[in-house]
């Protein structure tokens, strides 16, 4: 399977490690670029590091986490070519891939529990871009 960039800030290391193990068990090649200690760190640099791996083509997709998922998502979206959305449910995670051709998923570690997080990650990774009328809209975003 494809390579997936994974990162978080300092507050989400145990959840990030659980996600890495889950994705690896499903056959994904995980590139974890997040911090290794719980010392305070800045989420923007970790979101951008993962986004750069995706934008460069080194990784096909990315999954990032912070407390709400919002800040790290904003940082990732600053990287050209990244389309990252925050999701708290499986429907949204599936739809950002199918309709928006999202290449990164952001999660709020303080928002969504561990069991649901794994379902959201699976929904995102398993979905495929539908193209068609959605491609025109994605092109408008990239514009």
Which residues are identified as catalytic? 66, 99
Rounded-to-10 torsion of CA 34, 66, 125, 118? 100
Residues with Cβ within 8 Å of 115's Cβ and at least 6 positions away in sequence, in order, are none
Cα 61 from Cα 14, distance rounded (Å): 21
């Amino acid at each position: 399977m494809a390579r997936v960039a994974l990162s978080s800030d300092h507050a989400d290391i145990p959840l990030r490690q659980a996600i890495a193990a889950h994705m690896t068990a499903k056959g994904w090649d995980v590139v974890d670029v997040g911090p290794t200690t719980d010392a305070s760190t800045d989420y923007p640099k970790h979101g951008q590091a993962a986004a750069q791996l995706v934008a460069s083509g080194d990784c096909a997709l990315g999954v990032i986490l912070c407390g709400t998922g919002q800040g790290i998502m904003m940082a990732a979206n600053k990287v050209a070519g990244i389309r990252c959305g925050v999701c708290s449910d499986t429907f949204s995670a599936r739809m950002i891939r199918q309709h928006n051709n999202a290449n990164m998923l952001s999660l709020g570690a303080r928002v969504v529990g561990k069991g649901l997080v794994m379902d959201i990650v699976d929904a995102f990774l398993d979905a495929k871009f539908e193209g068609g009328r959605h491609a025109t809209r994605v092109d408008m975003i990239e514009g």
